[in-house]
Structure 1
């Protein structure tokens, strides 16, 4: 069954706010695994990626501040604990953290969505990717994207998407370096403006 799913997935395109240039999910996973292995050989052997728990909230909030991805006033610890409980009530929404030497150095969120179109094939949506500025360039982001792709592949997703602010050119170069091609547009509007 797993090999059949893997064969089906290998024929499907992948989008990461960018779309793989004809790459299959398996090809991208292998490419990221190779890059991740290189990172491990360069001192990242102690990197662990796991689901965040309530005990991780203070470190996660610190990472958001240090990485400057929480543009507004962030949650208090108590608010974040309550919000994490809400997120856990969703069928599949996880906040993952990357840990080195017992310190949270990276994070991303992953939602696996069921779809009505495309014969119900699932899709993955990655949000709030961050690596602590002092740990950037060490393979942590690549390892997290490898982890996200693995999660999507296990869930039989036909694609994984993310968006990136137009101003974050370093992030765009990072996603380009993973083999993703820019694809489409992302639109947003404040609900109070309509």
Structure 2
């Protein structure tokens, strides 16, 4: 790999990011690529929060991957800071080439630089390929997650 850059996402990246978020059966049900206004508003909120890191991987001026990293100060685990990796997506043409691994390694390294003692993520129960990928990188399925739509 190595022939791409990881950088903070900007407004011009939103169409490509949303297209990747929508490019699977789950994302197709939850994302709205035809209306980018809510995503642009969310990007402004993310940029205003120093604990949020929405990044893209760019190769030849094209966005080919993305993830969001959130730094979470906490009280549990003797005041440990943790990070949360979310919305990991790799463009369909780039999958299987190591870019996902490099993005996750970027997130882990960034978490260390922010003093995190733990990196966590969730993955939809139906994403079995993603589960194997995360396990191969050393993540353990240690908890059961719950969500409550509001």
TM-score (norm 1): 0.70
Match of residue 101 from structure 2: 142
Asked if residue 74 in structure 1 is aligned to residue 32 in structure 2, the reply is yes
Q: CA RMSD in A?
A: 1.7
* Deviates further, 82-91 or 102-111: 82-91
What CA distance in whole angstroms lies between the structure 2 residues aligned with 1:97 and 1:71? Answer: 23
What CA distance in whole angstroms lies between the structure 2 residues aligned with 1:92 and 1:169? Answer: 29
5+ residue gaps in structure 2?
A: none
What CA distance in whole angstroms lies between the structure 1 residues aligned with 2:75 and 2:136? Answer: 32
What CA distance in whole angstroms lies between the structure 1 residues aligned with 2:138 and 2:21? Answer: 26
Does the Cα contact within 8 Å between 1:115 and 1:122 map onto a contact in 2? yes
Q: Name the CA shift for 1:107/1:67 in 2 (closer, same or farther; >3 Å).
A: farther
Match of residue 66 from structure 2: 107
Match of residue 49 from structure 1: 6
**Residue deviations 1:9-58 (CA, integer Å, cap 9, x gap):** xxxxxxxxxxxxxxxxxxxxxxxxxxxxxxxxxxx231211110112112
Match of residue 128 from structure 1: 87
SS across alignment from 2:29: coil
**Residue deviations 1:140-162 (CA, integer Å, cap 9, x gap):** 11000100001100001010100
SS across alignment from 1:181: coil
TM-score (norm 2): 0.89
Match of residue 61 from structure 1: 18
Q: Which has the higher contact order (CA 8 A, sep 6+)?
A: 1
Tell me how far 1:78 sits from its aligned partner: 3.0
Q: Name the CA shift for 1:130/1:163 in 2 (closer, same or farther; >3 Å).
A: same
Does the Cα contact within 8 Å between 1:51 and 1:94 map onto a contact in 2? yes
SS across alignment from 2:122: coil
Highest Rg: 1 or 2?
1
